[in-house]
Amino acid sequence: MEIVIVPDGAAVAAHAAAAMANVIRGTERTVIGVATGSSPLGTYEALAEMVRAGELDMTDVSAFALDEYVGLDPEHPESYHSVIGKTVADQLGMDPARVHVPNGFANNFSDACDDYERAIEAAGGIDIQLLGIGANGHIGFNEPASSFASRTRLKTLAPQTRADNARFFNSIDEVPMYSVTQGLGTILDARRLLLVAQGEAKADAVAAMIEGPVASLCPASALQLHRFATVIIDEAAASKLKLRDYYDHVQHHRALAPA
Ligand code: GLP
């Protein structure tokens, strides 16, 4: 795992956007995986600046969102359909037909989830998956005890996740109880993983992900199994890492290492 520790959220966004832009510029018809939550918003803004400056073209890029609430009208401002539409498709000048979000309103969720897996496959797989991390270590909506082999499926949200996400709704009662999320196995199939985290509230989850055992108790520890996983975090999110100085040492010497 590549661990990059930078001073603050602005630097996280700048580094993550640069990494994504590199992949987008270097791949034909890139397929990106996109996350909701506050963590990646700065990255989307930094990418949008590149698009506005004419340094990046997203018109041929496809996107697949990690997850969606079940039972929220797609037009609800907090549905991930709306959030991804605004923060990714519109802001980055993407073709809306190429931006996919799991169906939170399906008649048959099992079929809808299989369709989503097939759509990712038909697009050629995800070149780079952007991720945030929940305070309980979830990625997407893969809550603790999710199987590392899981595929896109319906999940019951953990009480902590509903409480954390209540800030986007009038009350916790309005937060859906269920979600549809790409599985950990789906996420691990992406060719590269890029996780961003800021702030002290994420420090425990970040330490468990990087330095804890690979265990379903911390779903994000699945990143330890991926060949090309990069974690970009600020000082506050890095504050509980035991090998903090070592990660800086590695970053410092990386540029000088033989090819
Ligand atoms: C949500 C999303 C996750 C996201 C997490 C953290 O529940 N499903 O994909 O990573 O919350 O959100 P935030 O970045 O706002 O802390």
**Domain segments of the chain as ranges:** 2-232
Closest CA to 154 of 134, 191, 183, 121: 183
- Atom index in ligand 1 nearest the CA of residue 80 equals 8
Whether 150 has a pLDDT exceeding 80, the answer reads yes
Q: Of residues 259 and 151, which shows the higher confidence score?
A: 151
Backbone angles phi, psi at 55, to 5 degrees: -95, -10
> Which residue has the least CA distance to atom 12 on ligand 1?
37
- Atom index in ligand 1 nearest the CA of residue 133 equals 10
Band of pLDDT at residue 51, cut at 50, 70 and 90: very high
Please give the share of the chain, as a percent, with pLDDT higher than 70.
100
- The per-residue pLDDT for 258 is 84
Q: Does residue 67 have an active-site annotation?
A: yes
79, 157, 164: residue to mutate for ligand 1 pocket, most atoms within 8 A of CB: 164
> Of 15, 81, 100, 138, which one is the catalytic site residue?
138
User: Apex CA 95: angle with CA 83 and CA 125, to 5°?
Assistant: 85
Pocket lining: 36 vs ligand 1, CB cutoff 6 Å: yes
Q: How far apart are CA 65 and CA 152, in angstroms?
A: 11
Closest CA to 77 of 212, 178, 169, 215: 169
User: How far away, in angstroms, is 36 Cα from ligand 1 center?
Assistant: 6
CA distances from 29 to 94, 116, 123, 182 (A): 12, 19, 9, 21
Closest CA to 3 of 143, 141, 204, 193: 193
- Atom index in ligand 1 nearest the CA of residue 179 equals 8
- The per-residue pLDDT for 210 is 98
Residue 107 contacts by C-beta under 8 Å, 6 or more apart in sequence? none
Architecture of the CATH domain 2-232? 3-Layer(aba) Sandwich (3.40)
- The per-residue pLDDT for 254 is 85
- The per-residue pLDDT for 255 is 79
Residue 93 contacts by C-beta under 8 Å, 6 or more apart in sequence? 51, 58, 59
What confidence tens digit (pLDDT) does each residue in 27-42 have?
Answer: 999 999 999 999 999 9
User: How far away, in angstroms, is 68 Cα from ligand 1 center?
Assistant: 11
- The per-residue pLDDT for 120 is 98
